[in-house]
Amino acid sequence: MVETSSDIKKILVGVDNSDDAQKAFRYAINRAKELNAQLQIVTVLEKHDMNVYQVLDDDFIHGRREDVESHVQGYIETAQKAGVQDVKGIISEGNPGETIVKDVIPKYQPDLLVIGSLDIKKPHKLFGSQAAHMAQNSPISVLVIR
């Protein structure tokens, strides 16, 4: 079944620092305003990017999580200033593609997932590199932004 605009009440957007994710965020803001939909902003803390000592260090993890929380709060404020009425921030941990598909979508039940595509200009793995996995495995429609 193809969703119509009236079927979209919740939009989930994945954010990181890649250019494509920023474009996806701006697109999601505009769609949420147009549809008067809730905007759910998700970021995933990737523990596999840390070495074993960092993972075992509660202070390091706590510091990283605080940074991520501050980052998500900035996204929330940006969306609210842009005119989105209902904004929710979501922070999860794990592999971004798997976590969003298996944990975040079932828990928060969005109608549409908006993500950035792979940004091959960056030397390290980014959220957008998970786009193919999410598009193939998501139980909801996925819009990939370039």
Helix (H) or strand (E) holding 39, with range, is strand 38-45
Domain boundaries, the chain: 5-145
- The pTM is what? 0.82
Q: Are 110 and 85 in contact (CB under 8 A)?
A: no
CA distances to 29, 35, 61, 68 from 119, rounded to whole Å, are 21, 28, 26, 21
Instruction: For the domain covering 5-145, report its CATH number.
Output: 3.40.50.620
Tell me if residue 120 falls in helix, strand or coil.
coil
Instruction: Note the pLDDT tens digit of each residue in 57-114.
Output: 444 444 466 888 889 999 999 999 999 999 999 999 888 899 999 999 999 999 999 9
Above 60 in pLDDT, residue 124?
no
pLDDT reading at 47 higher than 80: no
For residues 110 and 132, which has the higher predicted lDDT (pLDDT)? 110
| Among the listed residues 47, 128, 41, the one whose alpha carbon sits nearest the alpha carbon of residue 80 | 41
Q: How many CB atoms lie within 10 A of CB 71?
A: 16
